[in-house]
Amino acid sequence: MFRKALIANRGEIAVRIIRTLKEMNIASVIAYSQADFASMPVKMADQAICIGPASAIKSYLNIDAIITAAKITDADAIHPGYGFLSENADFAQACHENGIKFIGPSAKTLRMLGNKSEARKMAMKAGIPITPGTSGCVSESNYEQEALKIGFPVMIKASAGGGGKGIRIARNEQELRSEFHIAASEALSAFGDNSLYFEKYIERPRHIEVQFVRDLKGNVLVFPERDCSIQRRHQKLIEESPSPAVSETLREQLSEEAAKLANAANYIGAGTVEFLLDNEGKHYFMEVNARLQVEHPVTEAITGIDLVREQVLASAGETLAMPGITKIKPNGHAIEFRINAECPEKDFRPEAGTIKKLVLPGGLGVRTDTYLYAGYSLPVFYDSLLAKIIINAPSRRLAISRAERALRELETDGIKTTSAFCLRILNDEDYRLGKTDTAFIESLLKKTKHTK
Amino acid sequence: MDVIMLTALSRWMENTDLEEITWRSGKNKISLKTNNEPVESIIPSSPLQPVLAPAIGIFRSSQPGQTNALTEGMKLSQGSELGWIETGKTREALKAPCKGNLKIIAIKDGQPAEYGQPLFFIEPE
Q: Using DSSP bridges, classify how beta strands A27-33 and A47-52 pair: parallel, antiparallel or unpaired.
A: parallel
Which of A428, A243, A426 minimizes the C-alpha distance to A337? A426
**pTM score, whole prediction:** 0.86
Q: Cβ(A314)–Cβ(A266) under 8 Å?
A: no
Give how far Cα A427 sits from Cα of A71, A129, A258, A400, Å. 51, 35, 33, 9
Give the separation between CA A430 and CA A350, rounded to whole angstroms: 28
Average pLDDT over residues B53-71: 83
Q: Find all residues with CB under 8 Å of A284, minimum gap 6, and list them.
A: A129, A130, A131, A202, A275, A276, A278
Q: Which of A175, A200, A225 is the last residue of a domain?
A: A200
Confidence of residue A310 (pLDDT cuts 50, 70, 90): very high
Amino acid identity of residue A113, one-letter, is L
Residue B2: count of CB within 10 angstroms of its CB:
7
Residues A357, A433, single domain; the answer is: yes
Kindly state whether residues A216 and A344 are assigned to the same domain.
Answer: yes
Say whether B58 and A53 touch across the interface (CB within 8 A): no
Q: In this structure, is residue B96 part of a structural domain?
A: yes
> Taking Cα atoms as reference points, which of A5, A10, A35 lies closest to residue A23?
A5
Partners of A49 on chain B (C-beta within 8 Å) are 56, 114
How many interface pairs between A and B have CB atoms less than 8 angstroms apart?
39
Residue B75 β-bridge partners: B101
Residue B44 phi, psi (nearest 5): -65, 130
Tell me which amino acid residue A436 is.
Answer: T
Looking at the DSSP bridge assignments, the partners of residue B104 are B121
> Shortest Cα distance from A71 to chain B (angstroms)?
9
Average pLDDT over residues A185-203: 87
Query: Does B57 contact A68 at a Cβ distance shorter than 8 Å?
Result: yes
Whether residue A115 lies inside any domain: the answer is no
**Would B44 be classed as within a structural domain?**
no
Contacts of A57 (CB under 8 A, 6+ apart): none
Angle at B56 between CA B55 and CA B62, to 5 degrees: 80
CATH number at residue A56: 3.40.50.20
Q: Do A53 and B112 touch (CB under 8 A)?
A: no
Q: pLDDT, tens digit, for every residue of A339-357?
A: 999 999 999 999 989 999 9
Q: What is the mean pLDDT of residues B80-87?
A: 94
Domain assignment of residue A242, yes or no: yes
CB B74 within 8 A of CB B102: yes
B87–A53 CB contact, under 8 Å: no
Question: Are residues A88 and A78 in contact, defined by beta-carbon separation less than 8 angstroms?
Answer: no
Is the domain of A300 the same as that of A385?
Answer: yes
Do residue A399 and residue A316 come from a single domain? yes
Say if residues A96 and A163 touch (Cβ distance below 8 Å).
no
* Alpha-carbon span A283 to A227, nearest angstrom: 13
A146 and A240 inside one domain:
no
Cα(first)–Cα(last) distance of chain B, in Å? 59
Tell me, rounded to whole angstroms, the distance of Cα A370 from its chain centroid: 16
Clarify whether residues B61 and B111 are in a common domain: yes
Same domain, A323 and A412: yes
Residue A407 falls inside a structural domain = yes
Domain membership of residue B9 (yes or no) is yes
Per the CB < 8 Å rule, is B56 touching A51? yes
Query: Does A296 share its domain with A440?
Result: yes
B60 plus B108 within the same structural domain: yes
Question: Do residues B60 and B12 share a domain?
Answer: no
CA geometry: angle at A33 spanning A30 and A39, to 5°?
65
Please check whether residues B53 and B29 belong to one and the same domain. Answer: no
N-terminal to C-terminal alpha carbon distance within chain A: 59
Residue A326's Cβ-side half-sphere holds a number of Cα atoms within 13 Å equal to 13
> Does ipTM come in above 0.90?
no
Whether A187 and A218 map to the same domain: the answer is no
Decide if pLDDT at A423 tops 60: yes
Residue A393 maps to a domain: yes
Residues A25 and A138 both lie in one domain:
no
Pairing of strands A325-327, A220-222: parallel
* A33 located within any domain: yes
Residue A430 has pLDDT above 90, yes or no: yes
Q: In whole numbers, what is the pLDDT of chain B averaged over residues?
A: 85
Length of chain A: 452
A34 vs B contacts (CB less than 8 Å)? 115-116
In a domain, B108, yes or no: yes
- Within a domain: residue B103? yes
Interface of A with B (CB under 8 A): 34, 49-53, 59, 63-65, 67-69, 72
In a domain, A120, yes or no: no
Q: How many structural domains is chain A composed of?
A: 3
pLDDT above 70: residue A332: yes
Same domain, B27 and B56: no
CB < 8 Å to A72, chain B: 56, 58, 112, 114
One domain, residues B14 and B62: no
Is B11 a domain residue?
Answer: yes
Q: Is B117 within 8 Å of chain A by CB?
A: yes
Average pLDDT over residues A312-324: 96
What percent of chain A clears pLDDT 70, i.e. is strictly above it?
Answer: 98
- A67 chain-B contacts, CB cut-off 8 A: 88
Structural domain that includes position B66: 49-124
- Flag whether A387 is in a domain: yes
CA atoms lying within 13 Å on the CB side of residue A147: 25
Supply φ then ψ for residue A154, to 5 degrees: -120, 140
From A51, A83, A103, give the residue that closes a domain.
A103
A52: which strand partners?
A33
pLDDT grade for B25, boundaries at 50, 70 and 90: confident
State whether residue B55 sits within 8 Å of chain A by CB. Answer: yes
Beta bridge pairs of residue A77: A5, A101
Q: Report pLDDT for A187.
A: 86
| Range(s) of the domain holding residue A25 | 4-103
Whether residue A193 is found in the same domain as residue A210:
no
**Residue in chain B lying closest to A49 (CA):** B114
Count of domains forming chain B: 2
Report the alpha-carbon distance of residue A282 to residue A278 in Å, rounded: 5
Q: Are A444 and A232 in contact (CB under 8 A)?
A: no
* Structural domain includes residue B56: yes
The CATH number of the domain holding residue B70 is 2.40.50.100
**For position A143, which CATH number holds?**
3.30.1490.20
Q: Looking at residue A434, which CATH number applies to its domain?
A: 3.30.470.20
H helix and E strand count, chain B: 1, 10
Does residue B8 sit within a domain? yes
- Using H for helix, E for strand and C for coil, what is the string for chain A? CCCEEEECCCHHHHHHHHHHHHHCCCEEEEEEEHHHCCCHHHHHCCEEEEEECCCHHHCCCCHHHHHHHHHHCCCCEEECCCCCCCCCHHHHHHHHHCCCEECCCCHHHHHHHHCHHHHHHHHHHCCCCECCECCCCECCCCHHHHHHHHCCCEEEEEEEEECCEEEEEECCHHHHHHHHHHHHHHHHHHHCCCCEEEEECCCCCEEEEEEEEECCCCCEEECCCEEEEEEECCEEEEEEECCCCCCHHHHHHHHHHHHHHHHHCCCCEEEEEEEEECCCCCEEEEEEECCCCCCHHHHHHHHCCCHHHHHHHHHCCCCCCCCCEEECCCCCEEEEEEEECEEHHHCCEECCCECCEEECCCCCCEEEEECCCCCCECCCCCCCEEEEEEEEECCHHHHHHHHHHHHHHCEEECCCCCHHHHHHHHCCHHHHCCCCCCCHHHHHHHHHHHHC
The mean per-residue pLDDT over the stretch A244-265 comes to 97
Q: Is the same domain home to A93 and A147?
A: no
Structure confidence by residue, pLDDT tens digits, A292-307? 999 999 999 999 999 9
Is A367 an annotated catalytic residue? no
- CB spacing of B56 vs A72 below 8 angstroms: yes
pLDDT for residue A191: 80
pLDDT at residue A163 in the model? 58
Among the listed residues B117, B24, B109, the one whose alpha carbon sits nearest the alpha carbon of residue B67: B109
Report helix, strand or coil for B76. strand
Residues of A in contact with B89 (CB under 8 A): 64
Last residue of a domain, one of A200, A227, A242: A200
* Displacement of CA A139 from its chain's centroid (Å): 30
Do both A69 and A142 map to the same domain? Answer: no
The 3-state DSSP class for residue B14 equals helix
| pLDDT value at B4 more than 70 | yes
Question: Maximum Cα–Cα distance for chain B, whole Å?
Answer: 88
Q: Residues A227, A207: contact at Cβ < 8 Å? A: yes
Which pLDDT band, with edges at 50, 70 and 90, does B32 fall under?
Answer: confident
Question: Looking at A10, A214, A232, A291, which residue is catalytic?
Answer: A291
